[in-house]
Amino acid sequence: MVHGEAWTVKELFVTPNEYIYWSVQIVMYPFMTGLVAGAFVLSSLYHVFGIKQLKEIARFALVFSLALLPVAMMPLQLHLQQPQRGIEVFLTPHFTSAIAAFGIVFSTYGAIVASEIWFVYRKYIVETALALRNKADKSTGEKIYHLIFSLLTLGSYDISEKALHQDEKAVKILAGIGIPVACFLHGYAGFIFGSVKANALWMTPLMPVIFIMSAVVSGIALCMLTYIVVMEIRKFLAARKKTTYETYESTEEIKGIEINVIKMTAKYLLFFLIFAISLELLDLIFRGYTAVKTWDILRSVIYGKDFLDIFVFQYGIGNLLPFILFLLPGLTIRRTVVGVLLVLFGVFMMRWNVVIGGQSFSLTFAGFMHYHLPIIPHDIETFKEGLFGALLVIITPFVLFWGLNKIFPVFIKEVH
Amino acid sequence: MINRRDFLKNAVKGIAGLALPLAAIEIVSPRKLFAAKGETGKESKIRWAFLVDTYKCVGCGLCVKACKLENEVPYDANVTRTWVERYVLTKDGRVFADTPKGARDGFTTSKIDLGEGKFQDIKKDDIQKAFFVPKLCNQCENPPCVQVCPVGATYQAPDGVVLVDRKWCIGCGYCIMACPYGVRFFHPVYKVAEKCNFCYHRITKGLKTACVQACPFGARMIGNIKDPNDPVSRIIRNERVSVLKDEYGTRPQVYYIGISREVI
């Protein structure tokens, strides 16, 4: 069977080779990179701009963005027809291609995030390594931990006041450089689509900017959601006095911190959401107003075939509804959870409507293609590019985050 | 503890030491490499171009059949390197077009294929005009598919033909997205990008392409546009010809005689 045939239904005049080649994994790709970039920007708001109220969530967001980073590459690997050659994008990049920049931008960004985390956690790493070193009769687990932490110190055990001050400076610089790199990482994902001149829906210079804005929105939303979940677990543990961390406060104390952080972060979420929606609407209005040759087919896709996906799911449920939820006075945790879930859904639908919507009309401008997401996989292709492949991509960052949290606990006192 | 001066000193030394062996590695462009390997090594004297006379096409589909067999594109797979489109314009101004199975078996019915198993019957008296348009890769002078390939697996030969390296293609599909003519697809067997290459294995040996050879009516022609005495080149220069979708700036090299504005 031809790639794409399993999930494409053609209607009216479509040329023989046209299928929905970029399926759900290519929806996941900008969604996941968006979360990475967004989480990083959120953490930088504290580190660079010194927004103190975000201190609590900043460290959290930083570790989370490291957990998300390898996952940004996963959908691409799952979508490639020759995944074993995927590494060639790093080794033999062809620089006129927007995708070729991936290797450079991705590794730069990874290096920045990793080194920033190292500086943030250096004191903790050194203290843990020293404590484990001095401990007599270590268990196997502790021996492994000792090895990991000793390696992580990179041989630098200096945690004097002066050294720590320098760490702080390094974090600030790295976070500062990180913001444009994070924006670039995601902006260029937008560029991959925006520069395809053959696709009438994708081709707009606004695409990278729209992608960045919605990326920040989704990143903040995911951080808020995960933060709330973790805080709820902590609250639950604190109530049962079953604490594994030394830093557990009372339930009331946690509650107080939680709602404060959430309220502050919600403001930034709204701020970026307004930007994202304005840009998307500008794009839509501009296309309608200029009404070039391709507008006829675009109009029938936007206002016809994809009306439900675009105006009901994306703008209505994904943007407007959470907007109202956050603006109403007396924000509660429960309302926030609903709000951020809707925001995440909205951003996902935006990616969906760009990637799938952009392929839902033919190059002939006289035919349509409908995408049917494979649910039950019957071969490797329908697994990789079906519901289960997408779910795999969604679950992985949380597993990684759980693992990273064992080494870089996001809730410890006395780190920057 | 290393001080700043020593650190900088050593860093400079390290970079200088690395730069020397690295300078030996040259970034090679596939185009240059291709030219160097070729006989001339210089600018090619050949620029392949294609000419389609739509007045002569009857939609028999022999070209599509010949292409599939010649280029080992699985016969029953719903992809093809070349195809023929049928346009039917009615007296009340409606435009119908279809290409069932890429017209591999020709147009065996007068009913228009609307997809999803639906067909539209048009009465003979309602038809204002109808014609066939063969399509194939335009071997663009400025090919967007080559531009977007992240690993350089698709490249333009000095004689203008755009080729795909099956051993190098990662199968990302970006080239398929970038082509405004829809000529690219994934090969069902090799699982890499596939396209019409003017039967490169034939034309470089002085043969005609499979579709040109199969066409009983001479609707398809191939030639060297750089040769002023080439019959195809002469027609392109002297007659009124047009190309498809030139607004994309791709500078396509498949020229058409007699296409109507409805053709896209």
Q: What is the pLDDT of residues A26-75, one digit of tens each?
A: 999 999 988 888 888 888 888 888 777 778 788 888 888 888 888 888 99
Tokens at residue B213, please? Answer: 């050879």
pLDDT(B91) > 80: yes
Q: Which of A8, A91, A94, A356 to mutate to test the interface with B (most CBs of B within 10 A)?
A: A94
Mean pLDDT to the nearest integer, A291-295 = 93
* Confidence at residue B10, expressed as pLDDT on a 0 to 100 scale: 87
A385 chain-B contacts, CB cut-off 8 A: none
Q: Do A54 and A391 meet the contact criterion of CB atoms below 8 Å apart? A: no
B-chain residue closest to A194, CA distance: B178
Residues 6+ apart with CB under 8 A from B229: none
* Cβ contact, residue pair A94, B101, below 8 Å: no
Closest listed residue to residue A73, CA positions, set A19, A126, A109, A119: A109
Q: In this predicted model, what pLDDT tens digit does every residue of A103-117 receive, in sequence order? A: 888 888 899 999 999
Higher-pLDDT residue of A337 and A39 is: A337
The domain B144-194: what is its CATH number?
Answer: 3.30.70.20
Mean pLDDT to the nearest integer, A377-404 = 92
A-chain residue closest to B187, CA distance: A2
Tokens at residue A358, please? Answer: 């952009």
* Confidence at residue A56, expressed as pLDDT on a 0 to 100 scale: 75
Residues 6+ apart with CB under 8 A from A21: A3, A4, A359, B173, B176, B177, B186
Q: What span, in angstroms and rounded, lies between the C-alpha atoms of B19 and A108?
A: 20
Confidence class of residue A410 from pLDDT cuts 50, 70 and 90?
Answer: confident
A-chain residue closest to B244, CA distance: A364
* Confidence at residue A65, expressed as pLDDT on a 0 to 100 scale: 87
Residues 6+ apart with CB under 8 A from A108: A181
Mean pLDDT to the nearest integer, A153-159 = 88
Q: How far is B226 from chain A (nearest CA, A)?
A: 28
* Confidence at residue A106, expressed as pLDDT on a 0 to 100 scale: 86
* Confidence at residue A288, expressed as pLDDT on a 0 to 100 scale: 95
B-chain residue closest to A8, CA distance: B116
Mean pLDDT to the nearest integer, A13-32 = 94
Q: Does B174 touch chain A if contact means CB atoms closer than 8 Å?
A: yes
Mean pLDDT to the nearest integer, B17-30 = 70
Q: What span, in angstroms and rounded, lies between the C-alpha atoms of A384 and A377?
A: 8
B-chain residue closest to A86, CA distance: B170
pLDDT(B43) > 90: no
Under 8 Å CB pairs connecting chains A and B tally to: 141
3-class SS at B182? coil
| C-alpha torsion angle, residues B151, B152, B153, B155 (rounded to 10) | 170
* Cβ contact, residue pair A15, B264, below 8 Å: no
3-class SS at A181? helix
* Cβ contact, residue pair B185, A17, below 8 Å: yes
* Confidence at residue A325, expressed as pLDDT on a 0 to 100 scale: 94
pLDDT(B143) > 70: yes
Q: Do A193 and A209 meet the contact criterion of CB atoms below 8 Å apart? A: no
Q: Is the dihedral of CA A283, A286, A292, A298 positive or negative?
A: positive
Q: Does B152 touch chain A if contact means CB atoms closer than 8 Å?
A: yes
A168 φ, ψ (degrees, to nearest 5)? -60, -45
Q: In this predicted model, what pLDDT tens digit does every residue of B165-189 receive, in sequence order? A: 999 999 999 999 999 999 999 999 9
Q: Do A123 and A157 meet the contact criterion of CB atoms below 8 Å apart? A: no
Where is average pLDDT lowest: A101-105, A288-292, A295-299, B163-167? A101-105
Q: Is the dihedral of CA B200, B80, A18, B108 positive or negative?
A: positive
Q: Do B67 and B73 meet the contact criterion of CB atoms below 8 Å apart? A: yes
Count of residues for chain B? 264
* Cβ contact, residue pair B151, A93, below 8 Å: yes
Confidence class of residue A324 from pLDDT cuts 50, 70 and 90?
Answer: very high
Report the percent of chain A where pLDDT is more than 90: 54
What's the order of all strands across the beta sheet hosting B83-90? B95-98, B83-90, B127-135
* Cβ contact, residue pair B186, A21, below 8 Å: yes
* Confidence at residue B44, expressed as pLDDT on a 0 to 100 scale: 86
Mean pLDDT to the nearest integer, B192-202 = 97
A97 chain-B contacts, CB cut-off 8 A: 147-150, 174
B-chain residue closest to A82, CA distance: B170
pLDDT(B83) > 80: yes
* Confidence at residue A416, expressed as pLDDT on a 0 to 100 scale: 45
Mean pLDDT to the nearest integer, B206-211 = 96
* Cβ contact, residue pair B264, A366, below 8 Å: yes
Mean pLDDT to the nearest integer, A157-172 = 90
Q: In this predicted model, what pLDDT tens digit does every residue of A192-209 receive, in sequence order? A: 999 999 999 999 999 999
Neighbour-count burial for A41-69, b at 16+ CB within 10 Å, e otherwise: bbbbbbbbeebebbebbbbbbbbbbbbbb
DSSP string, B35-104: HHHSSS-SS-S--EEEEEETTT-----HHHHHHHHHTT--TTSS--SSEEEEEEEETTS-EEEE-GGGGT
Tokens at residue A266, please? Answer: 């919600």
A-chain residue closest to B79, CA distance: A17
* Confidence at residue B24, expressed as pLDDT on a 0 to 100 scale: 65
Q: How far is B143 from chain A (nearest CA, A)?
A: 12
Q: Does B79 touch chain A if contact means CB atoms closer than 8 Å?
A: yes
Q: Does B111 touch chain A if contact means CB atoms closer than 8 Å?
A: no
Q: Please state, rounded to an integer, the average pLDDT across all residues of chain B.
A: 91
Would you say the ipTM is above 0.90? Answer: no
* Confidence at residue B68, expressed as pLDDT on a 0 to 100 scale: 96
Neighbours of A415 (CB within 10 A): 18
Q: How far is B51 from chain A (nearest CA, A)?
A: 20
Where is average pLDDT lowest: A135-139, B76-80, B216-220, B242-246? A135-139
* Cβ contact, residue pair A14, B171, below 8 Å: no
Q: Could you give the angle at the alpha carbon of A401 between the alpha carbons of A395 and A407, nearest 5°?
A: 155
Confidence class of residue A415 from pLDDT cuts 50, 70 and 90?
Answer: very low
Residue A331's identity, in one-letter code, is L
Q: What span, in angstroms and rounded, lies between the C-alpha atoms of A93 and A407?
A: 34
B26: left (phi over 0), alpha (psi -120 to 50) or beta: beta
Q: What span, in angstroms and rounded, lies between the C-alpha atoms of A3 and A385?
A: 11
Q: Do A121 and A149 meet the contact criterion of CB atoms below 8 Å apart? A: no
Q: Which of A1, A3, A10, A17 to mutate to test the interface with B (most CBs of B within 10 A)?
A: A17
* Confidence at residue A83, expressed as pLDDT on a 0 to 100 scale: 94
* Cβ contact, residue pair B150, A12, below 8 Å: no
Q: In this predicted model, what pLDDT tens digit does every residue of A243-255 receive, in sequence order? A: 555 555 677 777 7
Domains annotated for chain A, with CATH where assigned, are 5-407 (1.20.1630.10)
* Cβ contact, residue pair B182, A15, below 8 Å: yes
Nearest Cβ partner for B176 among A21, A86, A367: A21
Give the pairing of strands B162-164 and B48-53: unpaired
B185 chain-A contacts, CB cut-off 8 A: 2-3, 17, 19
